[in-house]
Structure 1
């Protein structure tokens, strides 16, 4: 048996960003147009007028201030309200693979490892731009890695579930190294015309290199323990699968073909689920709250993270103990906890313990207990 470790991490951040203020201008213009078009029904009470959004509403509801996106013009056009991401030819690298390759190269550079020495690529993300061939195999080819690659989807927990799969393979000796990459194009599955969720998501890609600790060339994080759990719920859902055409062959325009959630039920059900999951994982591995130096949580909502941090630590987290990147990146699905880890881990000392945890649709929860090593 071998000790798996995270030896490198990388983040691809799009060049474009949208502030809350910019987003609100576009959404409110769309709402005004919609209200004007539906004025007769609104006057009779048959239809409810669409309310305006505001920067204060968005920040209070989520803690988000801006988000990075692959396309800005389409989202901010009140007549479009979605990103323009033209379909590429089969001879061009896919969008997800292009993002993923950038993040992977950064992780490899950090670890001082050549792509040819990697045995597996796991592309773990909440949405994939095609069913097959696997995005992971495309990334494998673009990087020049050996071995194999496969895609997996556990929504917002995809990254931690991917880390568990990779760590188990390294631990057993079936491979020496694996890249777990999370290209998240969340802007494409968000309904930007829905006031309750139009501000939630952003685009990004992350990657971590997992290899035997004995092969590490510098500071790294030993993966001490992993744990995953799922529990079926419809409260977060996206029905945009392969059964998406109507009988006449046209695309189905149902609202539930994009991201949907029952936010109140999610808060009520997910918070205790995640808090209990982390507490039991810590207890079973002998990690106590006083010895826990860092919580890298899924970046869905600041209120949720503050609640979980307080439950796990038994007190309000101090500055830096539970870092948030929401204000800059918004919710980036499975990549969020990895961004937090990549940007807020260098300061830990050898022997310090932290937990990477993600949670979301499914419901799903994944936690990874790591220890800093020199």
Structure 2
């Protein structure tokens, strides 16, 4: 089996962004409206009054300072608190395909190839706009790619699981060139009216080109090894399953959106991820001291700081564990790929780095790379 290389990456960033202050102002206006409307029930003890959010609370809880979104106006409307996505005709490109195409074109240019050179497309994302036809097949058509395409959902680990699947297929001869896209419109499944999570997510799309080394025109990294693991947990859950079509009146749908038990996630995921990375390094014979870069899932700064310190045995330098969370917020499966795409410079030939994502499932995926 021949080597598989990473030859291109791309990131689509929405033009609209929301600062923590803007988000807090909107949320607190919503809280005031809610508490006034339900004043009698609150006084009677039938329901609890909602509490205000704050910039300090958000930053201390997450390390997030702002997030990019596809529809700022709907999210910041205190009477709505959710994005408004206009329905599209069946013969028009879907939102996911549209933003994935933008990221894909950057990645293909980076790799020095065109869409027609691709013979495998995987749309690896946490929430898909529809059940079928697969969004990946739509992206394949828009690119003019050949071969085959399919969707994949392993929540926040979708991109790394997609990289492993594509690398395995290239090694087996099923494909020569693969495109893994992660269009994450996470604003569509976030409950913006919940103080505990209203600040977590942002929208983005990423793309990664993998190729067989013998056909790659511009290889950047060699994939040394991939490793995936999953373990069922209900502590992060979304019962809806697909991007909901936002309505003018958003009803009571709390169980159909993102939910998590944050304390349990923190307690259970951190040792799971740390052990996963340690085991991956052990089976490949790579020493911790060989790792020059950790591109971690961008979920929470405290979590990443813990994992980095646990893996390296010391506090990582900022360049060793780049963080994009402050600007992009949590972008689900795309987070580690944003970090990789924007912070893979400065490595020398032979230097090694690790992409690692983790999230609902629980799932953990890691990709060990060597700079070419």
Q: Common fold, TM-score beyond 0.5?
A: yes
Could you list the per-position Cα deviations for residues 93-130 of structure 1 after superposition, in whole angstroms to 9, with x for gaps in the alignment?
00000000111110000000121111110000000010
User: Once the 2 structures are TM-superposed, how far is the Cα of residue 219 of structure 1 from its aligned partner?
Assistant: 4.6
Q: Can you give the 5+ residue segments of structure 1 that lack an aligned partner in the other structure?
A: 245-250
User: What's the counterpart of residue 88 of structure 2?
Assistant: 88
User: What's the counterpart of residue 135 of structure 2?
Assistant: 135
**Pairs aligned (count):** 367
User: What's the counterpart of residue 227 of structure 1?
Assistant: 227
**Counterpart of 1:214 in 2: which secondary structure?**
coil
User: What's the counterpart of residue 327 of structure 1?
Assistant: 326
User: What's the counterpart of residue 41 of structure 1?
Assistant: 41
**Counterpart of 1:106 in 2: which secondary structure?**
helix
User: Once the 2 structures are TM-superposed, how far is the Cα of residue 91 of structure 1 from its aligned partner?
Assistant: 1.2
Residues in 2 aligned to 1:195 and 1:239: alpha-carbon distance in whole angstroms: 20
User: Once the 2 structures are TM-superposed, how far is the Cα of residue 152 of structure 1 from its aligned partner?
Assistant: 0.6
Residues in 2 aligned to 1:26 and 1:240: alpha-carbon distance in whole angstroms: 25
User: What's the counterpart of residue 238 of structure 1?
Assistant: 238
User: Once the 2 structures are TM-superposed, how far is the Cα of residue 11 of structure 1 from its aligned partner?
Assistant: 0.2
Q: In terms of mean alpha carbon deviation, does 76-85 or 217-226 score higher?
A: 217-226
Residues in 2 aligned to 1:153 and 1:131: alpha-carbon distance in whole angstroms: 11
Residues in 1 aligned to 2:261 and 2:79: alpha-carbon distance in whole angstroms: 27
**2:152 is equivalent to residue 152 of structure 1:** yes
Residues in 1 aligned to 2:318 and 2:69: alpha-carbon distance in whole angstroms: 28
Residues in 2 aligned to 1:223 and 1:181: alpha-carbon distance in whole angstroms: 18
Structural mapping, 1:1-374, within 5 Å? 1-241=1-241, 253-373=252-372
Residues in 2 aligned to 1:264 and 1:256: alpha-carbon distance in whole angstroms: 19
Could you list the per-position Cα deviations for residues 237-261 of structure 1 after superposition, in whole angstroms to 9, with x for gaps in the alignment?
000048x9xxxxxx98431100000
User: Once the 2 structures are TM-superposed, how far is the Cα of residue 218 of structure 1 from its aligned partner?
Assistant: 2.8
Residues in 2 aligned to 1:186 and 1:111: alpha-carbon distance in whole angstroms: 28
Residues in 2 aligned to 1:201 and 1:319: alpha-carbon distance in whole angstroms: 22
Residues in 1 aligned to 2:251 and 2:177: alpha-carbon distance in whole angstroms: 42
Q: Can you give the 5+ residue segments of structure 2 that lack an aligned partner in the other structure?
A: 245-249
Residues in 2 aligned to 1:351 and 1:214: alpha-carbon distance in whole angstroms: 19
User: Once the 2 structures are TM-superposed, how far is the Cα of residue 175 of structure 1 from its aligned partner?
Assistant: 1.0
User: Once the 2 structures are TM-superposed, how far is the Cα of residue 37 of structure 1 from its aligned partner?
Assistant: 1.2
User: Once the 2 structures are TM-superposed, how far is the Cα of residue 143 of structure 1 from its aligned partner?
Assistant: 0.6
Could you list the per-position Cα deviations for residues 49-102 of structure 1 after superposition, in whole angstroms to 9, with x for gaps in the alignment?
111001110000000000000000000000010001111001110000000011
* 2:123 and 2:135 in contact (8 A); partners too: yes
Q: In terms of mean alpha carbon deviation, does 328-337 or 37-46 score higher?
A: 37-46
User: Once the 2 structures are TM-superposed, how far is the Cα of residue 162 of structure 1 from its aligned partner?
Assistant: 0.2
Could you list the per-position Cα deviations for residues 311-346 of structure 1 after superposition, in whole angstroms to 9, with x for gaps in the alignment?
000000012101110000000000000000000002
Structure 1 moving runs of 4+ over 3 Å? 251-254
User: What's the counterpart of residue 248 of structure 1?
Assistant: none
Residues in 2 aligned to 1:215 and 1:10: alpha-carbon distance in whole angstroms: 20
Residues in 1 aligned to 2:183 and 2:198: alpha-carbon distance in whole angstroms: 20
Q: What's the TM-score, normalizing by structure 2?
A: 0.97
Report the RMSD for the aligned CA atoms in angstroms: 1.4
